[in-house]
Amino acid sequence: MRVAATLKVNGTLYPLEIEPHASLLRAVREQIALTGAKEGCDDSECGACMMLLDGEPVNSCSYLALQAQGREVTTVEGLAPPGELSDLQRAFLEHGGVQCGFCTPGMLISATALLRRPGTPSEEEVRTALAGNLCRCTGYEGIVNAVLAVARSRSEPLESARTRGA
Amino acid sequence: MSASLRVASTVEEAVHELAAGARPVAGGTDLVVGARQGKAPLPQRLVAIHRIEKLRRIAAHDQSLRMGALVTHAELAANPTVRSRLTALADACVIVGSHATRAFGTIGGNLMNASPAMETGGPLLCLDATVALRSASGARRVGIAELLAGPGQTTAAPDELLEEVYVALPPTDTGSSYVRLEYRRAMEIAVVGATAVIRFDGDRIAHARVAITALAPTIRRVPDAEAALVGSDAGTEAAQIAARAVAAASEPISDIRASSRYRTAMATVVARRAIAVAAARAKGEDIPVPASTASGGGPR
Protein backbone atom coordinates (compact mmCIF):
# COMPACT_ATOMS: atom_id res chain seq x y z
CA MET A 1 0.00 0.00 0.00
CA ARG A 2 1.35 3.40 -0.95
CA VAL A 3 2.08 5.84 1.83
CA ALA A 4 2.29 9.62 1.75
CA ALA A 5 5.86 10.90 1.82
CA THR A 6 7.67 14.06 0.81
CA LEU A 7 10.96 13.90 -1.04
CA LYS A 8 13.25 16.88 -1.44
CA VAL A 9 14.98 16.63 -4.80
CA ASN A 10 17.29 19.35 -6.13
CA GLY A 11 15.89 21.71 -3.50
CA THR A 12 12.22 21.19 -4.40
CA LEU A 13 9.76 19.40 -2.11
CA TYR A 14 7.60 16.79 -3.84
CA PRO A 15 4.60 15.36 -1.95
CA LEU A 16 4.24 11.78 -3.23
CA GLU A 17 2.51 8.48 -2.59
CA ILE A 18 5.26 5.87 -2.37
CA GLU A 19 5.16 2.08 -2.28
CA PRO A 20 7.29 0.88 0.71
CA HIS A 21 9.47 -1.35 -1.49
CA ALA A 22 9.97 1.28 -4.20
CA SER A 23 13.52 2.39 -4.89
CA LEU A 24 14.58 6.02 -4.81
CA LEU A 25 15.40 5.69 -8.53
CA ARG A 26 11.85 4.58 -9.36
CA ALA A 27 10.25 7.35 -7.31
CA VAL A 28 12.43 10.04 -8.87
CA ARG A 29 12.13 8.81 -12.47
CA GLU A 30 8.51 7.66 -12.54
CA GLN A 31 6.80 9.95 -10.06
CA ILE A 32 8.86 13.14 -10.21
CA ALA A 33 9.74 12.59 -13.89
CA LEU A 34 13.41 13.47 -13.46
CA THR A 35 14.91 10.93 -15.84
CA GLY A 36 18.57 11.95 -15.71
CA ALA A 37 19.55 9.09 -13.40
CA LYS A 38 19.48 5.83 -15.36
CA GLU A 39 18.56 2.27 -14.56
CA GLY A 40 21.48 0.17 -15.78
CA CYS A 41 21.85 -3.07 -13.86
CA ASP A 42 19.29 -2.44 -11.09
CA ASP A 43 21.50 -4.16 -8.51
CA SER A 44 24.22 -1.64 -7.64
CA GLU A 45 26.91 -2.90 -10.00
CA CYS A 46 27.04 -0.14 -12.61
CA GLY A 47 26.48 3.23 -10.92
CA ALA A 48 24.28 4.68 -13.69
CA CYS A 49 21.59 5.44 -11.08
CA MET A 50 23.84 7.37 -8.70
CA MET A 51 22.40 10.37 -6.90
CA LEU A 52 23.66 12.35 -3.93
CA LEU A 53 21.87 11.78 -0.66
CA ASP A 54 22.87 14.40 1.88
CA GLY A 55 25.93 14.95 -0.31
CA GLU A 56 27.04 11.30 -0.41
CA PRO A 57 26.87 9.14 -3.56
CA VAL A 58 24.16 6.48 -3.41
CA ASN A 59 23.12 3.78 -5.85
CA SER A 60 19.48 4.90 -5.95
CA CYS A 61 18.26 1.67 -7.59
CA SER A 62 18.95 -0.13 -4.33
CA TYR A 63 17.94 2.52 -1.84
CA LEU A 64 14.40 2.62 -0.54
CA ALA A 65 12.64 5.85 -1.46
CA LEU A 66 10.96 6.15 1.93
CA GLN A 67 14.38 6.24 3.60
CA ALA A 68 15.18 9.43 1.70
CA GLN A 69 12.47 11.42 3.49
CA GLY A 70 13.78 14.46 5.33
CA ARG A 71 17.06 14.38 3.38
CA GLU A 72 18.54 16.25 0.43
CA VAL A 73 18.47 14.31 -2.82
CA THR A 74 20.53 15.66 -5.72
CA THR A 75 20.25 14.24 -9.22
CA VAL A 76 22.28 15.16 -12.29
CA GLU A 77 19.60 17.75 -13.10
CA GLY A 78 20.50 19.55 -9.88
CA LEU A 79 24.23 19.95 -10.49
CA ALA A 80 23.75 23.36 -12.12
CA PRO A 81 20.91 25.89 -12.49
CA PRO A 82 18.52 25.15 -15.40
CA GLY A 83 20.17 25.91 -18.74
CA GLU A 84 23.65 26.06 -17.25
CA LEU A 85 26.46 23.57 -16.81
CA SER A 86 28.76 23.00 -13.86
CA ASP A 87 32.51 23.22 -14.46
CA LEU A 88 32.58 19.42 -14.34
CA GLN A 89 29.85 19.08 -16.97
CA ARG A 90 31.72 21.53 -19.23
CA ALA A 91 34.93 19.56 -18.73
CA PHE A 92 33.16 16.33 -19.78
CA LEU A 93 32.25 18.05 -23.06
CA GLU A 94 35.71 19.52 -23.57
CA HIS A 95 37.60 16.29 -22.84
CA GLY A 96 35.31 13.90 -24.71
CA GLY A 97 33.95 12.39 -21.52
CA VAL A 98 30.60 11.61 -23.14
CA GLN A 99 30.04 8.91 -25.73
CA CYS A 100 26.60 7.24 -25.62
CA GLY A 101 25.84 9.19 -22.46
CA PHE A 102 24.17 6.45 -20.46
CA CYS A 103 26.77 6.38 -17.67
CA THR A 104 27.26 10.16 -17.72
CA PRO A 105 24.73 11.15 -15.01
CA GLY A 106 26.22 8.61 -12.59
CA MET A 107 29.78 9.59 -13.51
CA LEU A 108 28.99 13.27 -12.93
CA ILE A 109 27.38 12.56 -9.55
CA SER A 110 30.21 10.26 -8.50
CA ALA A 111 32.89 12.76 -9.56
CA THR A 112 30.99 15.65 -7.93
CA ALA A 113 31.09 13.76 -4.61
CA LEU A 114 34.81 13.09 -5.07
CA LEU A 115 35.63 16.72 -5.91
CA ARG A 116 33.81 17.97 -2.81
CA ARG A 117 36.21 16.10 -0.55
CA PRO A 118 39.19 18.01 0.79
CA GLY A 119 42.39 17.98 -1.24
CA THR A 120 43.17 17.55 -4.93
CA PRO A 121 42.65 13.94 -6.06
CA SER A 122 45.41 12.15 -7.96
CA GLU A 123 44.63 10.18 -11.12
CA GLU A 124 44.73 7.01 -9.02
CA GLU A 125 42.19 8.49 -6.59
CA VAL A 126 39.93 9.56 -9.45
CA ARG A 127 40.03 6.08 -10.96
CA THR A 128 39.35 4.49 -7.58
CA ALA A 129 36.41 6.80 -6.87
CA LEU A 130 34.87 6.18 -10.30
CA ALA A 131 35.48 2.43 -10.22
CA GLY A 132 31.84 1.90 -9.19
CA ASN A 133 30.65 3.58 -12.39
CA LEU A 134 30.80 1.45 -15.50
CA CYS A 135 31.05 3.02 -18.97
CA ARG A 136 29.74 0.58 -21.56
CA CYS A 137 31.57 2.54 -24.29
CA THR A 138 34.79 2.11 -22.26
CA GLY A 139 35.43 5.82 -22.66
CA TYR A 140 37.22 6.14 -19.36
CA GLU A 141 40.20 8.20 -20.53
CA GLY A 142 38.12 11.24 -21.43
CA ILE A 143 36.12 10.96 -18.22
CA VAL A 144 39.19 10.72 -16.00
CA ASN A 145 40.88 13.57 -17.88
CA ALA A 146 37.79 15.76 -17.39
CA VAL A 147 37.68 15.11 -13.64
CA LEU A 148 41.42 15.70 -13.28
CA ALA A 149 41.15 18.97 -15.23
CA VAL A 150 38.45 20.25 -12.85
CA ALA A 151 40.40 19.07 -9.80
CA ARG A 152 43.43 21.03 -11.02
CA SER A 153 41.48 24.14 -11.96
CA ARG A 154 39.74 24.25 -8.59
CA SER A 155 43.02 23.93 -6.70
CA GLU A 156 44.83 26.59 -8.78
CA PRO A 157 43.52 29.70 -7.03
CA LEU A 158 44.56 28.21 -3.71
CA GLU A 159 48.01 27.36 -4.96
CA SER A 160 48.64 30.75 -6.54
CA ALA A 161 47.44 32.38 -3.31
CA ARG A 162 49.91 30.23 -1.43
CA THR A 163 52.86 31.13 -3.68
CA ARG A 164 51.97 34.81 -3.28
CA GLY A 165 52.53 34.28 0.41
CA ALA A 166 48.84 34.55 1.30
CA MET B 1 -0.28 -8.45 4.04
CA SER B 2 0.95 -5.49 2.05
CA ALA B 3 4.46 -4.11 2.40
CA SER B 4 5.16 -1.62 5.16
CA LEU B 5 8.16 0.39 6.28
CA ARG B 6 8.41 2.22 9.56
CA VAL B 7 11.21 4.68 10.23
CA ALA B 8 12.39 4.20 13.81
CA SER B 9 14.04 7.03 15.72
CA THR B 10 15.06 5.07 18.81
CA VAL B 11 16.50 1.63 19.54
CA GLU B 12 13.45 0.88 21.69
CA GLU B 13 11.13 1.59 18.80
CA ALA B 14 13.24 -0.55 16.48
CA VAL B 15 13.38 -3.61 18.74
CA HIS B 16 9.64 -3.29 19.36
CA GLU B 17 9.12 -3.51 15.58
CA LEU B 18 11.51 -6.48 15.36
CA ALA B 19 9.54 -8.26 18.09
CA ALA B 20 6.44 -7.75 15.97
CA GLY B 21 8.12 -9.46 13.00
CA ALA B 22 9.78 -6.61 11.14
CA ARG B 23 13.26 -6.89 9.57
CA PRO B 24 15.76 -4.02 9.86
CA VAL B 25 17.15 -2.00 6.96
CA ALA B 26 19.86 0.67 7.15
CA GLY B 27 21.88 1.40 3.98
CA GLY B 28 20.13 -1.32 1.99
CA THR B 29 23.41 -2.27 0.30
CA ASP B 30 22.89 -5.97 1.06
CA LEU B 31 19.16 -6.32 1.76
CA VAL B 32 17.82 -4.27 -1.15
CA VAL B 33 20.58 -5.28 -3.55
CA GLY B 34 19.97 -8.94 -2.67
CA ALA B 35 16.28 -8.51 -3.45
CA ARG B 36 17.10 -6.86 -6.78
CA GLN B 37 19.41 -9.77 -7.61
CA GLY B 38 16.61 -12.23 -6.76
CA LYS B 39 18.38 -13.78 -3.74
CA ALA B 40 15.41 -13.16 -1.44
CA PRO B 41 12.39 -10.92 -1.76
CA LEU B 42 12.31 -7.84 0.44
CA PRO B 43 10.65 -8.57 3.77
CA GLN B 44 7.02 -7.41 3.84
CA ARG B 45 7.48 -5.60 7.12
CA LEU B 46 10.54 -3.36 7.37
CA VAL B 47 11.87 -1.11 10.09
CA ALA B 48 14.33 1.50 8.84
CA ILE B 49 16.96 2.18 11.50
CA HIS B 50 19.05 4.80 9.66
CA ARG B 51 17.66 7.69 11.74
CA ILE B 52 18.68 6.29 15.14
CA GLU B 53 21.33 8.81 16.22
CA LYS B 54 22.66 6.62 19.03
CA LEU B 55 23.70 3.95 16.52
CA ARG B 56 25.70 6.41 14.38
CA ARG B 57 28.35 7.11 16.99
CA ILE B 58 31.96 6.03 16.83
CA ALA B 59 33.94 6.67 19.99
CA ALA B 60 37.60 5.99 20.71
CA HIS B 61 38.42 5.73 24.38
CA ASP B 62 41.87 5.17 25.89
CA GLN B 63 41.97 1.48 25.18
CA SER B 64 38.90 0.71 23.13
CA LEU B 65 36.81 1.64 20.13
CA ARG B 66 33.03 1.49 20.16
CA MET B 67 31.30 1.53 16.80
CA GLY B 68 27.55 2.00 16.56
CA ALA B 69 25.80 -0.36 14.15
CA LEU B 70 25.25 2.48 11.65
CA VAL B 71 28.88 3.54 11.37
CA THR B 72 29.69 3.30 7.66
CA HIS B 73 32.65 1.70 5.93
CA ALA B 74 33.71 5.16 4.76
CA GLU B 75 33.72 6.49 8.33
CA LEU B 76 35.72 3.51 9.57
CA ALA B 77 38.22 3.73 6.72
CA ALA B 78 38.83 7.41 7.53
CA ASN B 79 38.97 7.00 11.31
CA PRO B 80 42.48 7.71 12.69
CA THR B 81 42.17 5.11 15.47
CA VAL B 82 41.06 2.45 13.01
CA ARG B 83 43.88 3.28 10.60
CA SER B 84 46.61 3.31 13.24
CA ARG B 85 45.49 0.69 15.75
CA LEU B 86 43.07 -1.59 13.85
CA THR B 87 44.71 -1.35 10.44
CA ALA B 88 43.27 -4.64 9.15
CA LEU B 89 39.79 -3.19 9.59
CA ALA B 90 40.80 -0.13 7.55
CA ASP B 91 42.24 -2.46 4.85
CA ALA B 92 38.85 -4.17 4.75
CA CYS B 93 36.54 -1.14 4.88
CA VAL B 94 38.33 0.82 2.16
CA ILE B 95 37.82 -1.93 -0.46
CA VAL B 96 34.14 -2.63 0.20
CA GLY B 97 31.94 -2.03 -2.87
CA SER B 98 32.36 1.42 -4.38
CA HIS B 99 32.42 4.81 -2.68
CA ALA B 100 28.61 4.78 -2.82
CA THR B 101 28.53 1.44 -0.99
CA ARG B 102 31.02 2.67 1.58
CA ALA B 103 29.01 5.83 2.20
CA PHE B 104 25.83 3.90 3.05
CA GLY B 105 26.90 0.35 3.94
CA THR B 106 27.21 -0.11 7.71
CA ILE B 107 29.38 -2.21 10.00
CA GLY B 108 26.27 -3.67 11.62
CA GLY B 109 24.82 -4.65 8.27
CA ASN B 110 28.06 -6.17 7.04
CA LEU B 111 28.26 -8.41 10.11
CA MET B 112 24.58 -9.37 10.32
CA ASN B 113 24.42 -10.17 6.59
CA ALA B 114 26.95 -12.86 7.56
CA SER B 115 28.42 -13.44 4.14
CA PRO B 116 31.42 -15.82 4.33
CA ALA B 117 33.06 -13.30 1.96
CA MET B 118 32.39 -10.18 4.07
CA GLU B 119 35.37 -7.90 4.40
CA THR B 120 35.09 -6.75 8.03
CA GLY B 121 34.54 -10.17 9.63
CA GLY B 122 38.14 -11.44 9.52
CA PRO B 123 39.67 -8.29 11.02
CA LEU B 124 37.00 -8.05 13.74
CA LEU B 125 37.40 -11.75 14.57
CA CYS B 126 41.19 -11.52 14.82
CA LEU B 127 40.97 -8.31 16.87
CA ASP B 128 38.67 -10.05 19.40
CA ALA B 129 35.70 -7.76 18.74
CA THR B 130 32.40 -8.32 20.48
CA VAL B 131 28.93 -7.15 19.48
CA ALA B 132 26.04 -5.96 21.61
CA LEU B 133 22.68 -7.45 20.64
CA ARG B 134 19.44 -5.98 21.96
CA SER B 135 15.88 -7.20 21.84
CA ALA B 136 12.69 -5.96 23.50
CA SER B 137 13.34 -8.43 26.30
CA GLY B 138 17.03 -7.87 27.02
CA ALA B 139 20.60 -7.40 25.85
CA ARG B 140 23.67 -9.59 25.50
CA ARG B 141 27.20 -9.42 24.18
CA VAL B 142 28.79 -12.09 21.99
CA GLY B 143 32.11 -12.56 20.20
CA ILE B 144 32.34 -12.65 16.40
CA ALA B 145 33.00 -16.43 16.28
CA GLU B 146 29.89 -16.98 18.38
CA LEU B 147 27.83 -14.62 16.18
CA LEU B 148 28.58 -16.14 12.77
CA ALA B 149 26.68 -19.40 12.21
CA GLY B 150 26.88 -20.04 8.46
CA PRO B 151 26.41 -18.41 5.08
CA GLY B 152 23.89 -15.63 5.67
CA GLN B 153 23.20 -16.89 9.16
CA THR B 154 23.96 -15.57 12.63
CA THR B 155 23.15 -16.85 16.08
CA ALA B 156 21.20 -13.65 16.77
CA ALA B 157 17.47 -14.20 17.20
CA PRO B 158 15.25 -12.52 14.57
CA ASP B 159 14.12 -9.99 17.18
CA GLU B 160 17.67 -8.98 18.14
CA LEU B 161 19.25 -5.80 16.78
CA LEU B 162 23.01 -5.38 16.57
CA GLU B 163 23.61 -2.15 18.50
CA GLU B 164 27.36 -1.82 18.74
CA VAL B 165 30.70 -3.39 17.89
CA TYR B 166 33.35 -3.15 20.60
CA VAL B 167 37.09 -3.66 20.16
CA ALA B 168 39.74 -3.41 22.85
CA LEU B 169 42.70 -1.72 21.18
CA PRO B 170 45.69 -4.05 20.88
CA PRO B 171 49.12 -2.91 22.12
CA THR B 172 50.60 -0.22 19.85
CA ASP B 173 53.34 -2.54 18.54
CA THR B 174 50.72 -4.88 17.03
CA GLY B 175 50.54 -5.12 13.23
CA SER B 176 47.46 -6.26 11.37
CA SER B 177 46.32 -6.63 7.78
CA TYR B 178 43.50 -7.89 5.59
CA VAL B 179 44.28 -9.01 2.05
CA ARG B 180 41.81 -10.25 -0.54
CA LEU B 181 42.16 -11.61 -4.04
CA GLU B 182 40.02 -9.55 -6.38
CA TYR B 183 39.36 -9.45 -10.12
CA ARG B 184 38.09 -5.89 -10.41
CA ARG B 185 38.54 -2.60 -8.59
CA ALA B 186 35.01 -1.90 -7.38
CA MET B 187 31.81 -3.68 -6.43
CA GLU B 188 34.03 -6.69 -5.90
CA ILE B 189 33.47 -9.51 -3.47
CA ALA B 190 36.48 -11.33 -2.05
CA VAL B 191 37.41 -14.34 -4.18
CA VAL B 192 39.40 -15.38 -1.12
CA GLY B 193 40.78 -13.32 1.75
CA ALA B 194 43.03 -13.58 4.79
CA THR B 195 43.55 -11.55 7.94
CA ALA B 196 46.69 -11.56 10.08
CA VAL B 197 47.42 -9.91 13.42
CA ILE B 198 50.99 -10.11 14.71
CA ARG B 199 52.94 -8.80 17.68
CA PHE B 200 56.63 -9.44 18.31
CA ASP B 201 58.55 -9.91 21.52
CA GLY B 202 62.06 -9.03 20.38
CA ASP B 203 62.52 -10.77 17.03
CA ARG B 204 60.05 -13.60 17.74
CA ILE B 205 56.29 -13.52 17.28
CA ALA B 206 54.56 -13.48 20.68
CA HIS B 207 50.97 -13.14 19.46
CA ALA B 208 49.44 -14.23 16.16
CA ARG B 209 45.95 -14.42 14.74
CA VAL B 210 45.03 -15.66 11.29
CA ALA B 211 41.55 -15.88 9.78
CA ILE B 212 40.17 -16.90 6.40
CA THR B 213 37.51 -15.23 4.26
CA ALA B 214 35.43 -16.84 1.48
CA LEU B 215 37.17 -20.14 2.23
CA ALA B 216 34.66 -21.75 4.62
CA PRO B 217 30.96 -21.45 5.52
CA THR B 218 31.88 -18.63 7.91
CA ILE B 219 34.85 -16.40 8.50
CA ARG B 220 37.00 -18.46 10.83
CA ARG B 221 40.36 -18.51 12.58
CA VAL B 222 43.06 -21.03 11.69
CA PRO B 223 44.69 -22.11 14.99
CA ASP B 224 47.32 -24.23 13.22
CA ALA B 225 48.51 -21.22 11.26
CA GLU B 226 48.66 -19.12 14.41
CA ALA B 227 50.65 -21.85 16.21
CA ALA B 228 53.10 -22.00 13.29
CA LEU B 229 53.75 -18.28 13.59
CA VAL B 230 54.12 -17.93 17.36
CA GLY B 231 57.78 -18.25 18.35
CA SER B 232 58.93 -17.78 14.76
CA ASP B 233 60.64 -14.78 13.19
CA ALA B 234 57.79 -14.39 10.65
CA GLY B 235 60.26 -15.39 7.96
CA THR B 236 59.56 -17.17 4.70
CA GLU B 237 59.62 -20.64 6.24
CA ALA B 238 57.17 -19.88 9.06
CA ALA B 239 54.88 -18.01 6.67
CA GLN B 240 54.92 -21.02 4.30
CA ILE B 241 53.94 -23.41 7.08
CA ALA B 242 51.17 -21.04 8.22
CA ALA B 243 49.94 -20.63 4.65
CA ARG B 244 49.79 -24.40 4.20
CA ALA B 245 47.76 -24.62 7.41
CA VAL B 246 45.39 -22.02 5.95
CA ALA B 247 44.92 -24.11 2.80
CA ALA B 248 44.38 -27.24 4.91
CA ALA B 249 41.71 -25.49 6.97
CA SER B 250 39.88 -24.22 3.88
CA GLU B 251 36.76 -25.87 2.52
CA PRO B 252 35.71 -23.44 -0.19
CA ILE B 253 32.81 -23.71 -2.58
CA SER B 254 33.01 -23.57 -6.36
CA ASP B 255 30.92 -20.80 -7.85
CA ILE B 256 30.87 -18.37 -10.73
CA ARG B 257 33.84 -16.44 -9.34
CA ALA B 258 36.26 -19.31 -8.65
CA SER B 259 36.54 -23.06 -8.34
CA SER B 260 37.17 -24.69 -5.01
CA ARG B 261 40.64 -25.81 -6.18
CA TYR B 262 41.59 -22.32 -7.29
CA ARG B 263 40.37 -20.81 -4.03
CA THR B 264 42.42 -23.29 -2.01
CA ALA B 265 45.52 -22.57 -4.10
CA MET B 266 45.04 -18.81 -3.71
CA ALA B 267 44.42 -19.18 0.04
CA THR B 268 48.14 -19.78 0.52
CA VAL B 269 48.98 -16.67 -1.51
CA VAL B 270 46.69 -14.26 0.34
CA ALA B 271 47.71 -15.79 3.69
CA ARG B 272 51.41 -15.24 2.93
CA ARG B 273 50.74 -11.66 1.85
CA ALA B 274 48.59 -10.89 4.91
CA ILE B 275 51.22 -12.32 7.25
CA ALA B 276 54.02 -10.38 5.54
CA VAL B 277 52.13 -7.07 5.76
CA ALA B 278 51.06 -7.61 9.39
CA ALA B 279 54.64 -8.50 10.39
CA ALA B 280 56.04 -5.46 8.60
CA ARG B 281 53.50 -3.18 10.26
CA ALA B 282 54.28 -4.74 13.64
CA LYS B 283 57.90 -3.74 13.05
CA GLY B 284 56.81 -0.17 12.39
CA GLU B 285 56.96 -0.19 8.59
CA ASP B 286 54.42 2.03 6.90
CA ILE B 287 52.52 -0.26 4.51
CA PRO B 288 49.70 1.81 2.99
CA VAL B 289 46.03 0.90 3.31
CA PRO B 290 44.66 -1.16 1.60
CA ALA B 291 47.08 -4.04 2.05
CA SER B 292 45.48 -5.84 -0.91
CA THR B 293 46.98 -3.25 -3.27
CA ALA B 294 50.16 -2.67 -1.27
CA SER B 295 51.01 -6.39 -1.27
CA GLY B 296 50.69 -6.73 -5.03
CA GLY B 297 47.19 -8.15 -5.23
CA GLY B 298 44.33 -6.88 -7.29
CA PRO B 299 43.99 -5.50 -10.77
CA ARG B 300 45.79 -2.29 -11.66
Specify whether A124 is located in the same domain as A68.
Answer: no
Chain A interface includes B232 (CB < 8 A) = no
Give the CATH number of the domain where residue A101 resides. 1.10.150.120
Q: Residues of B with CB below 8 A from A106's CB?
A: none
Looking at residue B70, the DSSP 8-state letter turns out to be T
Range of the domain at A91: 81-166
**In this predicted model, what pLDDT tens digit does every residue of A106-144 receive, in sequence order?**
999 999 999 999 999 999 999 999 999 999 999 999 999
Residue B169, min C-alpha distance to chain A (Å)? 29
Chain B interface includes A78 (CB < 8 A) = no
Beta strand spans in B50-110 (E) = 58-60, 64-68
Q: For residue B283, which of B178, B209, B172 has the smallest C-alpha distance?
A: B172
Residue B202 lies in a domain: yes
- Residue B291 CA to residue B285 CA, distance in Å, equals 12
**In this predicted model, what pLDDT tens digit does every residue of B132-148 receive, in sequence order?**
999 999 999 999 999 99
Inspect the interface and report whether the beta carbons of B104 and A67 lie closer than 8 Å.
Answer: no
Q: For residue B187, which of B126, B111, B257, B265 has the smallest C-alpha distance?
A: B257
For testing contact with chain B, the best of A2, A21, A122 (most B CBs within 10 A): A21
> Among B2, B37, B48, whose Cβ lies nearest the Cβ of A1?
B2
Q: What pLDDT shows up at residue A43?
A: 87
Q: For residue B105, which of B67, B149, B74, B65 has the smallest C-alpha distance?
A: B74
Q: Quick one: closest CA in A to B37, which residue? A: A43
Give the CATH number of the domain where residue B218 resides. 3.30.390.50
Gap between the terminal Cα atoms of chain B: 49
For testing contact with chain B, the best of A1, A43, A127 (most B CBs within 10 A): A43
- Residue A22 CA to residue A2 CA, distance in Å, equals 9
Residue B124 lies in a domain: no
> Among B2, B4, B33, whose Cβ lies nearest the Cβ of A44?
B33
Among residues A41, A60, A78, the one where a domain terminates is: A78
Question: Which residues face A73 on adjacent strands?
Answer: A9, A53
Specify whether A92 is located in the same domain as A59.
Answer: no
Chain A interface includes B54 (CB < 8 A) = no
3-state SS assignment for residue A134:
coil
Complex ipTM over 0.90: yes
- Residue B121 CA to residue B143 CA, distance in Å, equals 11
- Residue A3 CA to residue A24 CA, distance in Å, equals 14
Specify whether A39 is located in the same domain as A18.
Answer: yes
Burial zone of B119 (CB within 10 Å; 0-12 exposed, 13-18 middle, 19+ buried): buried
Inspect the interface and report whether the beta carbons of B99 and A21 lie closer than 8 Å.
Answer: no
Among residues A44, A78, A112, the one where a domain terminates is: A78
Inspect the interface and report whether the beta carbons of B99 and A113 lie closer than 8 Å.
Answer: yes
Q: How many domains is chain A partitioned into structurally?
A: 2
Burial zone of A10 (CB within 10 Å; 0-12 exposed, 13-18 middle, 19+ buried): buried
Specify whether A73 is located in the same domain as A151.
Answer: no
Chain B interface includes A60 (CB < 8 A) = no
Specify whether A112 is located in the same domain as A165.
Answer: yes
Specify whether A109 is located in the same domain as A153.
Answer: yes
**In this predicted model, what pLDDT tens digit does every residue of A65-76 receive, in sequence order?**
999 999 999 999
**Low-confidence winner among A65-69, A70-74, A162-166, B121-125 (lowest mean pLDDT):** A162-166
- Residue B26 CA to residue B163 CA, distance in Å, equals 12
Specify whether A93 is located in the same domain as A163.
Answer: yes
Q: Quick one: closest CA in A to B185, which residue? A: A131
Specify whether A157 is located in the same domain as A111.
Answer: yes
**pLDDT at B300 exceeding the cut of 50:** no
Inspect the interface and report whether the beta carbons of B99 and A50 lie closer than 8 Å.
Answer: no
Gap between the terminal Cα atoms of chain A: 60
Q: How many beta carbons lie within 10 A of that of residue B256, not counting itself?
A: 4
Range of the domain at B278: 176-293
**In this predicted model, what pLDDT tens digit does every residue of B56-108 receive, in sequence order?**
999 999 899 999 999 999 999 999 999 999 999 999 999 999 999 999 999 99
Q: For residue A116, which of B103, B81, B29 has the smallest C-alpha distance?
A: B103
| Helix pair A87-94, A104-116: axis angle to 10 deg | 130
> Among B36, B50, B100, whose Cβ lies nearest the Cβ of A43?
B36
Specify whether A73 is located in the same domain as A88.
Answer: no
